[in-house]
Amino acid sequence: MRIGVDAGRIAHGRGGVASYTRELIRALAAPGVDHEIVLFDLDGGSAFSTVVEETYGRLPQRVRIAANTREELQDLDVFHAPGFRIPAAVGPKLVFTVHDLTVLSHPECHTLANRVRTLASVADALACGATILAVSETTRREALRLLALQVEKVEVLPPILNPCFSARGDVRADEAAARRLGIDDLFVLAVGSLEPRKNLERLLDAWMALPDRLRRTHQLVVVAADGWRQRSILRRLDRLKRTENAVRVGPLRDGELAALYRRARALVFPSLAEGFGLPVAEAMACGSPVVTSESSSLPEVAGDAAILVDPEDVDAIAAAVAGVLEDEGLRRDLRERGYERSRSFSHDALLPRLLEIYRRAAQRSNIER
C-alpha cells in the first residue's frame, strides 16, 4: 500500500495529537513494514523537513516527504489524518482519528473556538465517507451514539506508546534529570494541561487533605502545559509551592517525563473526561503506580492495574493517594500489573492492527469510488 499521513503536528510539542502522530510515524517507519509512507505537512510549516529529520533521524527510503500535495494525494491507497486538517477532495480513502468527543459530551470544558474547530473537522471527515479511527472503545461508543455512524466504518486502535516510556531506565540519569528540575527523592506526579477537564483543582484539594506527615515527606510535582482557564490554578500552584511542597515543571521532553514516571511514588490522573488518557499508559509502562478516574475511557486504559476513584470526590482521591504512598506491597503490585498492561500499547502489539485497519479502509475506498 501507499499510505499518506499528515505529519504536520509532530512540530507541536508534547500535546496528545502531536505525541500520537510522532509515534504513529515511528511505527510505520520501523523495520519489517514493506509499505510506502508519504508524509504531508498540511500545516504548511517552512521547516518541515528539518523537523522530520530532528524527530526521526535517517528514515528508510520507503518513507518520504510529499513533493506535491495535490498530485501525491491522488496516488495514495489511504490517507491518515491524525489531527484536525483534512485535504480537499481526499474522499473515502481518508482514515480520520477521533481522539475524543468531549466537545459534545462535556462542552463546558472547551473554548468555543476549540468546539467549532473539532466539530468542523469531524463534519468534513464524515462528508468524505472516512473510516473513523477511535482511540478507545469508549470513544467508539460515543462516536456511534453522538454521530450516528455506521458500525463498520468505525475502527478502534489505542495510541502507540513511545518506546522511551519503559521501566528500564538509567537510575543515575533519572536522578540527574529530577535534580535538574528541582524535584525531591519522594514525590507524587500529576501530568496534564492546565484546563478544567484535567481536574487539577480537586487534585490540589486532595493534596491538602493528605495527612501532614505525607505532605512533609513527599513533593507534589505537576507537569503541565499552559491551558484554558489556567489563571486560578496557576495562582494556587504558586501559593502551594511556597507553603505545601508542590511545584510545577514543564513542558518536558518525553525522555525527561519518562525519568519522572520511573521515580514517582505514584501518578495521580483524576481527569473528568478523556478519549484515552495517555499519561496513564505512559506511567504504567515506566513502572509507576497509578491512581486515576473511574469515568470515561480511563478504566478501559487502566484495566485492573490502577486504583480507580470518583474524580469529583476529593476525599476518595486523597485516600487512594495515601493508600499507595503508605503501602509498599500495593505499590509493587500496581507496578507489576501496570507494566504488563502497558504492553498492549506497544509498537509490536498495535502496528499489525494499524496496517489491517488501513487495508480495510483501502478496500472500502475502492468499492465506494
Same domain assignment for residues 291 and 362: no
Q: Is residue 40 part of a domain?
A: yes
Same domain assignment for residues 256 and 317: yes
Q: What is the mean pLDDT of the chain?
A: 92
Q: For the segment 262-292, what is each residue's pLDDT rounded down to a tens digit? A: 999 999 999 999 999 999 999 999 999 999 9
Same domain assignment for residues 116 and 184: no
Q: Is residue 165 part of a domain?
A: no
Same domain assignment for residues 216 and 108: no
Same domain assignment for residues 292 and 197: yes
More confident of the two residues 228 and 129: 129
- Domain limits for position 9: 2-160+346-368
Contacts of 291 (CB under 8 A, 6+ apart): 266, 267, 268, 269, 270, 306, 307, 309, 317, 320, 321, 324
Contacts of 110 (CB under 8 A, 6+ apart): 102, 103, 118, 197, 228
Same domain assignment for residues 129 and 177: no
Same domain assignment for residues 214 and 138: no
| Whether 228 contacts 253, CB under 8 Å | no
How far is 63 from 172, CA to CA, in rounded Å? 36
Task: Give the per-residue pLDDT at 13.
Answer: 66
The pLDDT-based confidence of 5 (bands split at 50, 70, 90) is very high
Task: Give the per-residue pLDDT at 305.
Answer: 98
| Segment 129-140 mean pLDDT | 96
Same domain assignment for residues 83 and 147: yes
Of 29, 6, 158, 1, nearest to 81 (Cα)? 6
Same domain assignment for residues 203 and 111: no
The pLDDT-based confidence of 100 (bands split at 50, 70, 90) is very high
Positive or negative CA dihedral for 4, 9, 10, 15? negative
Q: What is the pTM of this model?
A: 0.94
C-alpha cell belonging to residue 16: 496528545
Same domain assignment for residues 237 and 281: yes
How far is 287 from 335, CA to CA, in rounded Å? 5
Same domain assignment for residues 190 and 296: yes
Number of structural domains in the chain:
2
- Cα–Cα distance list, 265 to 52, 181, 207, 289 (Å): 35, 17, 14, 7
Task: Give the per-residue pLDDT at 223.
Answer: 96
Q: Is residue 166 part of a domain?
A: no
Q: What's 12's domain CATH number?
A: 3.40.50.2000
